[in-house]
Structure 1
């Protein structure tokens, strides 16, 4: 399935009656189920007063990394830089937090609300160099949709 083919389903989830976290979980489940290189999908959201991220929802193997300090790992770096981060080979990253021995690449896209970085979508893949610019654009769009419900 192509990423853009999922947009109507994501729009339907966003427009549903469930609370925001349930919609975000449904998006995680959809992406992890329909995109073969998206082996783990999660939303980390920034704490309101402390410099750390909290895992709100995820699809894929459970992780022990439910709280990540700003600056630590790829997610923590995105919380500070406010920039997309694509990692083709996680073994080449010094500041990588290993969630699974199977993860080979990762993409993290910040989620902005009213110009403020309030969280991010994090995707892990068991394939080296699984992500490209089309993933970045698609996940930016996903985050724009999610921002409307937060």
Structure 2
């Protein structure tokens, strides 16, 4: 399934008035996990109140011990500080990478902005080396713009 065919499904999930925000976020994770073969762990992290840390939200994939990530630590923590997309073709080449699983080869993290403030991010791990393209970035930016309307 292509990114263009997934966009209307994302919009349908976001616009559903009968489900909670967490249910919508989980449905987005499930949609991406089920339809993009190299997305092997899909989840959301959000700013934890006034603390300089991220808290794990809904996700699909192997359980993780990383439910709280300090700003600046790991790829997600770096995105919380830089406010920029971070595409990691080879996690083994990253000094500040937090390993969740030995099977993970690559990661992409895209921030979620609400009124110019970085409130969270979508985090995707892949067991495939260097799978993420600019098309993934643009699609995930679209996803994050839609998720921002829920926050």
Q: Quick check: TM above 0.5?
A: yes
- Hey, what's the Cα distance between the residues in 2 that align with 1:133 and 1:121? 16
What residue is the counterpart of 2:111 in the other structure? Answer: 110
- Hey, what's the Cα distance between the residues in 2 that align with 1:85 and 1:142? 15
**Deviation of residue 50 (structure 1)?**
0.4
What residue is the counterpart of 2:4 in the other structure? Answer: 4
Deviation per residue, 1:7-44 (Å, 9 max, x gap):
11111100112111110010001101110000000000
Determine helix, strand or coil for the equivalent of 1:83: coil
What residue is the counterpart of 1:96 in the other structure? Answer: 97
TM value normalised by structure 1: 0.98
Aligned residue pairs total: 150
Superposed counterparts of 1:1-150, under 5 Å? 1-16=1-16, 17-150=18-151
- Hey, what's the Cα distance between the residues in 2 that align with 1:89 and 1:8? 31
Cα RMSD between the aligned structures? 0.6
- Hey, what's the Cα distance between the residues in 1 that align with 2:58 and 2:76? 14
TM value normalised by structure 2: 0.98
**Deviation of residue 4 (structure 1)?**
1.7
Q: Which runs of 5+ in 1 are unaligned?
A: none
- Hey, what's the Cα distance between the residues in 1 that align with 2:91 and 2:4? 26
Kindly report structure 1 stretches of 4+ aligned residues shifted beyond 3 Å: none
- Hey, what's the Cα distance between the residues in 2 that align with 1:6 and 1:62? 25
Q: Which runs of 5+ in 2 are unaligned?
A: none
**Deviation of residue 52 (structure 1)?**
0.3
**Deviation of residue 117 (structure 1)?**
0.1
